[in-house]
Chains A and B, each alone.
Chain A
Amino acid sequence: MRDFILKRVAALILPFVCVYGFYVIFHGHISPGGSFAGGIIVGLSFIAFSTIYGIEKGRAKLSEDVLTWTESFGTLWYGIMGMVGIFKGVPFLANKLAGIDLGLPGELFSSGLISYIGLGVGIRVASTMITIFFTLMEDEE
């Protein structure tokens, strides 16, 4: 698409959409939303960018190496967070049982492992959506 107005509006809005997606991911344990919804919003900002500005510019923003790494290590990050419980001698993926300080409810980095796991899941969902989109768009070139 080569529409001037669309490009200007997208340039104004899409950075805030991306930042809002990260806001939803980080505040998943405090406010409505969560890592899945926030990851979709982050992925949507990149998908809209590459739809409006062309797939080449979208790929320049987010290279294939970055996508491969986030794609592969998002799930592994979840596993590593789960292993914290095993190293402390309690079941896999234990949070309060593992003796982690839960913090004050309502603060950004409260609730122990939940915020870290949520960050991993959010990045994972975003990279999955962007990877599928880029792979599907390749045939239209």
Chain B
Amino acid sequence: MPDFYDDDARLTRPRIVALALSAALVALLSLIILTAPGDLERLNLVARERLTESGVANPVTAVLLNFRGYDTLLEVAVLLLAVIGIWSMARYARVWIKVPDTPVLAAFVRLVLPLMVLVSGYLLWLGADAPGGAFQGGAVLGGMGILWIAAAVWLPDFQFQRFARVMLVLGLIAFVGASTLLLALEGSFMEYPAGEAKNWILVIESAAMISIGMTLMMLFVGGIPRLNEGTV
């Protein structure tokens, strides 16, 4: 039975054979894809053509939140599922924090946290016209949460769990709720009313950003936050 945490890196004969076969497969696939009479521009052109109807000026945001917003809805579900999956396996998060012996880190974190909130909000807003949006903003928020914990300025305890649950589901609730509401209003799941797309997208993205940030933070915690209950 293979061990998944195998760190044996010797080049045994079966491994060399596997390596050679993989290399051959990569070469073959590369050859096929490089000689294929591609049509990669077609969808790109269609998307750019209809960009003005999407409510945003950044084609990436238009695809993620409008044209193929349904994909993103399911991806937001995957993120929530990741945390639920981890919580289902780890009933208690480890208590992993050693309070840092220098006050510098704590002071630095106190200084930088408000700035990170500001940056995440800015990134979200920026997403309408330039690279940015809920995922980038959420990443900054998540980083903020991790810094917060790492500096032991504050540690997530059991009470925090309820707050975390709400923040975790916010994005998916906003996404599914808005899409269903739009289904009732416009007759199509996630069909934004003409000219109002930007507002809807902004609401969904704000909620998603908060959830993404909390998701990343909870992935770092690695289990149900429960500070004073000992370690398992």
Q: Do A and B interact? A: no
